[in-house]
Amino acid sequence: MHPDKSKTLSIVWFRQDLRLEDNPALVAAAKRGAILPVYIHSPEEEGAWAPGAASQYWLHQSLKSLAKKLQGKKSRLIFRRGPTDSALKKLLQETGASAVFFNRRYEPAIVQRDTELKKTLQKSGVRIESFKANLLFDPWEIATGQGEPYKVFTPFWKNCLSRPEPLGDPLTLPKITVPKLWPESLELEDFELEPKIPWTQGIAATWKVGEAGAQEQLDAFLEDALKDYSEERNRPDHAGSSKLSPHLHFGEISPRQIWSAIQREMALGKKSGIAKGSECYLKELGWREFAHHLLYHFPETSERPLRREFEKFPWEKNTKALKAWQRGMTGYPMVDAGMRELWATGWMHNRVRMLVASFLVKHLMIPWQRGAEWFWDTLVDADLANNTLGWQWTAGCGADAAPYFRIFNPISQGPKFDPHGEYVRQWVPELAKLPTEYIHRPWEAPAEILARAKIKLARDYPLPIVDHREARHRALIAFKKLKGKI
């Protein structure tokens, strides 16, 4: 006999929607009856993009937070291992649940898995429904006049903003009815998501993981940074970013919640400049939508360039240079500061992401895929759609890509966006005592100034691994040759 005879017991299958507020799958299940919250660990079903080390750490903390929040509602989170189809079938059989509700994901391997799963469960008479929860618009909702996917951001976002249907208010947390009996569950620790060697102290100190942490981060952003966002977002030495990206990726907060909160701030209009900052930030949410739109319609782009002619680009294999870049030892302080911030905190300022990516693909001529792989393993906000769009944009081989001649200057970007050297001093402490005049170009500092700062170049801090002018010239020649072939 099944533990729950009501036939209205529903499985809510949590994935990258680790929240209770504004959760459409949870609301739909709650309207039906009792809820069985479930998380199934199946990284092997993510194709080539199983969560990296930093993401695994965040996932553990986020699941722990969600489980605790459910306990506060007299419910619990059931943990099982994949394969997902057999895990769900077993739970349906064990509990007598007759429906599965989940929120959609859009990565190619997951779309394929979910499509097959839906067909299988529907054939066996199970009600299975998916919902839009982690985007403002599903990728198939927005199309050109010819019914094609967009490849340029501006018309894509104009289309989004012109939609007559309102996004609606975020859904409030429903009353959760619990099953009469609970099935067995694994322990979260059984998934071994946390590292055996404790390298995550910096991540732990930087972030408050979970739904409450996401809301706190949003509140702080609205209070302190939104009104000046359009100017301050480019300053890595200031706290001008929202830092909501990992919370969005794991679904600890929804884009609709953020959108709604910003619209409220604009309506209140208490802070001068709020409209400009808000419009700028909402456009960044638009880029996130665009990234998912592209990955859904062009699923091969996580590994291959959207512009296929770039498969002929003369990339180089340079293991030594790649390692120097990964370790933040290129000899260019802004590049190294960014790579060290990433290693220490699992995050990097977006302006610096563009710089370090440009340096890898255009100064070192190393394939963008190697950079994407490193970011995937080290970012707490490693998101396949955003990662793919960002790297292909920098390499010039994707949608709406940067022109081939746009090569970020790793020297001048420093004084422009870190004018007092505070960002470099924080993350490259061996240069901290250098005067601001030389902080972004230590190789130009006179010997007596280096001595006073107790720095010996090539011993305490590396000399540049490539000459900027020579590297730029080499890249431009390669890009021009490729342009001539297309």
The yes-or-no answer on residue 376 being catalytic is no
Cβ 152 vs Cβ 287: under 8 Å? no
Say which of 350, 409, 422, 430 is annotated catalytic: 350
Count of residues for the chain?
486
The closest of 270, 265, 363, 366 to 313, measured between CA atoms, is 366
Say which of 325, 343, 374, 391 is annotated catalytic: 391
Say which of 46, 159, 194, 287 is annotated catalytic: 287
DSSP state of 24: H
Say which of 157, 368, 376, 393 is annotated catalytic: 368
* 99-103 sheet: strands from edge to edge: 78-81, 35-41, 10-14, 99-103, 127-131
| Beta-bridge partner residues of 35 | 10
Instruction: Collapse the DSSP code of 332 into the 3-class scheme (helix H, G, I; strand E, B; otherwise coil) and give the result.
Output: coil
The closest of 250, 212, 288 to 57, measured between CA atoms, is 250
| Beta-bridge partner residues of 10 | 35, 99
Cα 12 to Cα 356: distance, rounded to the nearest angstrom: 40
The closest of 442, 463, 465, 464 to 453, measured between CA atoms, is 442
The yes-or-no answer on residue 315 being catalytic is yes
The yes-or-no answer on residue 391 being catalytic is yes
Say which of 284, 373, 422, 430 is annotated catalytic: 284
- Burial label for 123, CB within 10 Å (0-12, 13-18, 19+), is exposed
What's the CA dihedral at 218, 224, 228, 230 to 10 degrees? -20
Say which of 157, 207, 315, 376 is annotated catalytic: 315
Q: Looking at the annotation, which residues are catalytic?
A: 284, 287, 315, 350, 368, 391
